A = this chain, B = another copy of it.
Amino acid sequence: MRASDRAYATLLDEIQSGVLRPGAVLGEVEQAARLGVSRTPLREALGRLGADGLVAQQSPRVTVVTAIEPDDIREIFEVRRALEESAARLAAERGDAAIFAELARDFARVDLADGDHDGADARDEYYALIARFDESLDSAVANDYLTAALRTVRTHLVRVRRLARDNPGRLAASVAEHRLIASAIAARDADLAAHATHVHLHNALTNILESLDASAGSATGAGSPAHDPVAQPVDAPRP
């Protein structure tokens, strides 16, 4: 594996997981030394992260991790709605019905299992299933350009999810919503698939924004308690 790939993967993970917080300054020599690579591959990694929108040049001399604010989340969900509604429609038109019928069954099963044991276990199963659903969707749509655009959106979504604590009730509802979407695609009902996607995204966004409001009310800025040992100067989240 190339050094630039390692640097990109590591930085991506650290940004998505919150180890590198928004506003953290990413100096080239500093990060290159920390990750054990030279400046050249690190620059390539920073370039890719910049293309993804995860880092930006605050000034011509300083690269920082970008912030995600409620307005960003709304914007991301607008793009997400546009792309995923289309994807759902296209999947309903051309997808393999059997695959989505099976996905719908699996979502139904998780829905039941959720009563048995809620917690990290159910959540892991949920996220794994979502990932499988996304993969199946991409494969059914068979559109590299759409998949690429969705990939960018999903990259940002990882960070968004981290900001918002998902309550157990929302989890169960989300599973049910996905089940409906999968069923609609399996039934080749493009309108229903699109509208169910719309509903799902509306609910997800609402939940996230409410969760953000709640945590903003309880503790200001102490959402993620993790004191990071890496991101040195967390000054200037935005000028």
Q: Tell me whether A53 and B148 are in contact in the complex, defined as CB-CB below 8 angstroms, given that A44-B44, A44-B47, A143-B75 are known contacts.
A: yes
**Is A35 part of the contact surface with B, judged by Cβ < 8 Å?**
no
The answer to whether B90 and A78 have CB atoms under 8 Å apart is yes
**Is A205 part of the contact surface with B, judged by Cβ < 8 Å?**
no
Task: Specify which chain B residues have a CB less than 8 angstroms from the CB of A47 in the assembled complex.
Answer: 44, 47-48
A83 to B145 alpha-carbon distance, docked (Å): 12
Q: Number of A interface residues at 8 Å Cβ cutoff, please give it.
A: 27
Q: A-side binding surface: helix, strand, loop or mixed?
A: helix
The answer to whether B51 and A146 have CB atoms under 8 Å apart is no
**Is A195 part of the contact surface with B, judged by Cβ < 8 Å?**
no
A44 to B40 alpha-carbon distance, docked (Å): 10
The answer to whether B48 and A79 have CB atoms under 8 Å apart is no
**Is A3 part of the contact surface with B, judged by Cβ < 8 Å?**
no
Q: Tell me whether A79 and B145 are in contact in the complex, defined as CB-CB below 8 angstroms, given that A47-B44, A47-B48, A51-B48 are known contacts.
A: yes
Q: Mark A135-156, 1 if CB is under 8 A from B, else 0.
A: 0000000011110110011001
A44 to B46 alpha-carbon distance, docked (Å): 11
The answer to whether A86 and B75 have CB atoms under 8 Å apart is no
The answer to whether B149 and A75 have CB atoms under 8 Å apart is no
Task: Specify which chain B residues have a CB less than 8 angstroms from the CB of A146 in the assembled complex.
Answer: 75, 78-79, 82
A7 to B48 alpha-carbon distance, docked (Å): 17
- Chain B residue with Cβ nearest A43: B44
Task: Specify which chain B residues have a CB less than 8 angstroms from the CB of A79 in the assembled complex.
Answer: 83, 86, 143, 145-146, 149
Task: Specify which chain B residues have a CB less than 8 angstroms from the CB of A145 in the assembled complex.
Answer: 53, 72, 75-76, 78-79, 152-153, 156
- Residues of A at the B interface (CB closer than 8 Å) are 40, 43-44, 47-48, 51, 53, 72, 75-76, 78-79, 81-83, 85-86, 90, 143-146, 148-149, 152-153, 156
4 extra A-B contacts, CB within 8 A, seeds A78-B146, A145-B152: A44-B47, A47-B48, A79-B86, A82-B82
